[in-house]
Structure 1
Amino acid sequence: MTEEKLMSKKKPAYPVQKKLDAYLERYNRKIEIPIFYEDLLRFAGSVVVYDNDGEDTLWVRVYYSDSDRKEIDMSLKQVYSILHSDGSNRIVEYLNVDAVDFCTFGNSQPFRIKVRNILNDNYTYFYVKKTDASRIYGLELEHMLSPYNLNFLVYKDTLIEEHIAGIPGDMFIKDVLPKCSESEKAQLAKEFVKFNERCMIRLLGDMRSYNYVIVPVHDFDHVVYRIRAIDFDQQCYEGKFKVYLPQFFKENIKMVELVTNKLQEYSVDQYKIEERSIVAKRIISSGNRIKRLINSVKVDEISVHENVERLKTELQEFTHDMEFKKCENMGQVLATALDFVKRNYEDVSMKQIIEKKF
């Protein structure tokens, strides 16, 4: 199945409503910044950015007029300080904005900012994007329900995201995977099963290979690979259930083949159960924070009616949970999905306690 059939043509950006805005302020995600997304659109020109193999990266490096450059540079340094430090200007004099890149590919059309410490030449990136409520829900759910914390800021119509380091999935599959040992391939297969399950549970869609990164972690005498989502634009928008399962995208076929070739069916089921249990524990341990987020998304509009109707029907058929039939918007579908995972974990845990007791 091709992605044209699997995905809608274009997802709209949804505004931040009052309840989500209050949530962001409570948890220090809403912070005043000195520059907006629209300001960065004032570039005077651009040049194409190519990779090491001479291929077009779909990013362009933009440049600004002399009158705008100084102000934009200073504002971007201040944003870096707010995102990564205490927000003061003490570190600004040691920073240099090496590049501002713009991507016209995809819905969010982000700016990628490269900031370098001039004292030691260490550099990092952050992204400036248009605010989108569904993306914010995706970022927050990743922060709470995945193994990884995320740092981002929202102010009015501008979203600032930290860079997530790793090897882009498509590059890894092309260049690194063929060189992996058999044990590394088995470990990657396990990680893909867990990643696939995690995306499905929290309804994060469109995890084609270029929307996640693979992170090599050196552990004693071997390398362990982790898979991290880097694009949260398709958080519970689409109506097709398969969109939330990375295994159904053709770009991930090599990863699916790893699972088929390296894991027995029993192992696949075991890893799915492990990931469901871990996510359920994170839902429980997140306490009031995730409750407030869910209370916000349940009264929000982050998808269209036909998508809501299709997804709740497909989820009801998949889980046999009749609660999905009661859902009236996508936020309620998400809330029901997370509650289903939590309830099943608690039911199993209680059953085990009873069996041990009697």
Structure 2
Amino acid sequence: MGQEKLMSRKKPSFPVSRKLETFLDQYNRKTEIPILYEDLLRFAGSIVVYDDDGNDTLWVRVYYTDAERNEIDLNLKKVYSILHSDGTDRIFQYLNVDAVDYCTFGNSKPFRIRIRNILNDNFIYFYVKRADASRIYGLELEHMLSPYNLNYLVYKDTLIEEHISGIPGDIFINKMLPNCTDTQKSQLAKEFVKFNERCMIQLLGDMRSYNYVIIPIHDFDHVVFRIRAIDFDQQCYEGKLKVYRPQFFKENQKMVALVQSKLLSDSVEQYKVEERSIIAKRIISANKRIKRLINAAKADKISSPENVERLKMEIFAFTKDIEFKKCRNMGQILNLTLDFVRRNYENVSMRQIIEKKIQVK
């Protein structure tokens, strides 16, 4: 199915509500920073950024007047210190702002900042974006429910995100996947099944191959791969359940084919159960924090009534849980989805306990 039919053409940006802002403040995500997204829009000009093969990356490198540049560089170093260090200026003398890039592609139109340590030439990226409520919900859910922690800050209408390292999925699939061993392909298939399940449970949409990265990890004498989302713009917005399942995007067809060729149906089901179980455990362990985030989402508007109506009915058809029909917004759908996963895990665990007691008797 083509992406034009699967997804809406453009998702609007949603403001940060007072309840969400309170949550961010409570968990140290809300921090005053010296530069806002709008300040970076005052660039004087730009040049196209090409990759090593001469292809347009859809990023442009922007530059500022001399009067603007000194202040912007200083403030970006301050943001780096707040995000990655103790917030003081003692490291500024070792930092250089190598580049400020701007992406006109997609909804968020982010700025990508490259900071280099002049003592050893190590560099790191971070992103400056417009604060979008649905994106923030996605970041926070990924932080709590996935295997990965996320570092981000929100101040007024500006969102600062750390860079997530890895090989972009589309590049990996086209250039590196053909050279993987059979064992590596089987392991990648397993990871894609788990990633697919995790996105669906979190209601994280639009995981086309360029919206996630593949991370090779050396483990003893072999390499294993992990798949990690890098774009959270489509959290709890679309009305079609397929949007939250990466397997249905044409950009992921080679990964789906990998699953079909390398895994038996029983193995696929096993990996789905494993992922649901570990997410259920995270829901239970982060209970208070998740409840506070969900309470903010239930009082928020992060989608259209039409999308809410369609998604709740599609999830009802998928789960047969009548409670989904009663949902009035995306926050309520998300709450029920996570609760459905938790309840199923607890019910299975309880049955196992009862069966063991019966066997003992």
TM-score normalised by structure 1 residue count: 1.00
Match of 1:91 in 2: 91
Q: Residue 54 of structure 1: SS of its match in structure 2?
A: coil
Match of 1:237 in 2: 237
Q: CA deviation at 1:37?
A: 0.2
Match of 2:60 in 1: 60
1:76 aligns with 2:106: no
Distance 2:43 2:173 in 1: 35
Match of 1:136 in 2: 136
Q: CA deviation at 1:352?
A: 0.5
Q: CA deviation at 1:287?
A: 2.1
Match of 2:174 in 1: 174
Distance 2:211 2:179 in 1: 22
Distance 1:91 1:141 in 2: 32
Q: Residue 336 of structure 1: SS of its match in structure 2?
A: helix
Q: CA deviation at 1:261?
A: 0.2
Cα deviation 1:234-266 (Å, max 9, x = unaligned) = 001000000000000000000000000000000
Distance 2:218 2:199 in 1: 25
Cα deviation 1:46-93 (Å, max 9, x = unaligned) = 000000000000000000000000000000000000000010101111
Structure 1 letter corresponding to 2:248 = F
Q: Residue 114 of structure 2: SS of its match in structure 1?
A: strand
Structure 1 letter corresponding to 2:129 = K
Give the gaps of 5 or more residues in structure 2: none
Structure 2 letter corresponding to 1:103 = C
Distance 1:323 1:348 in 2: 20
1:254 aligns with 2:254: yes
Structure 2 letter corresponding to 1:213 = V
Structure 1 letter corresponding to 2:122 = N
Structural RMSD (CA):
0.4
Q: CA deviation at 1:121?
A: 0.5
Q: CA deviation at 1:329?
A: 0.4
Q: CA deviation at 1:130?
A: 0.1
Structure 2 letter corresponding to 1:274 = E
Describe how 1:1-358 pairs up with structure 2 within 5 A.
1-358=1-358
Q: CA deviation at 1:313?
A: 0.1
Structure 2 letter corresponding to 1:325 = K
Structure 2 letter corresponding to 1:342 = R
Structure 2 letter corresponding to 1:156 = K
Q: Residue 186 of structure 1: SS of its match in structure 2?
A: helix
Distance 2:11 2:334 in 1: 18
Distance 1:222 1:233 in 2: 34
Distance 2:53 2:350 in 1: 56
Structure 2 letter corresponding to 1:357 = K
- Report the more deviating stretch, 151-160 or 281-290: 281-290
Structure 2 letter corresponding to 1:41 = L
Q: CA deviation at 1:327?
A: 0.3
Structure 1 letter corresponding to 2:71 = E
TM-score normalised by structure 2 residue count: 0.99
Distance 2:326 2:90 in 1: 54
Structure 1 letter corresponding to 2:64 = Y
Distance 2:330 2:137 in 1: 12
Distance 2:93 2:301 in 1: 43
Cα deviation 1:288-337 (Å, max 9, x = unaligned) = 11110011101110000000000000000000001101100011011110
Distance 2:279 2:2 in 1: 30
Structure 2 letter corresponding to 1:237 = Y
Distance 2:293 2:336 in 1: 13
* Consecutive aligned runs of 4 or more in structure 1 exceeding 6 Å deviation: none
Distance 1:357 1:133 in 2: 47
Distance 1:101 1:60 in 2: 5
Cα deviation 1:211-231 (Å, max 9, x = unaligned) = 000000000110000000000
Structure 1 letter corresponding to 2:172 = F
Distance 2:275 2:10 in 1: 31
Structure 2 letter corresponding to 1:277 = S
> How many aligned residue pairs are there?
358
Cα deviation 1:123-177 (Å, max 9, x = unaligned) = 0000000000000000000000000000000000000000000000000001110
Distance 2:40 2:4 in 1: 31
Distance 1:88 1:7 in 2: 44
Give the gaps of 5 or more residues in structure 1: none
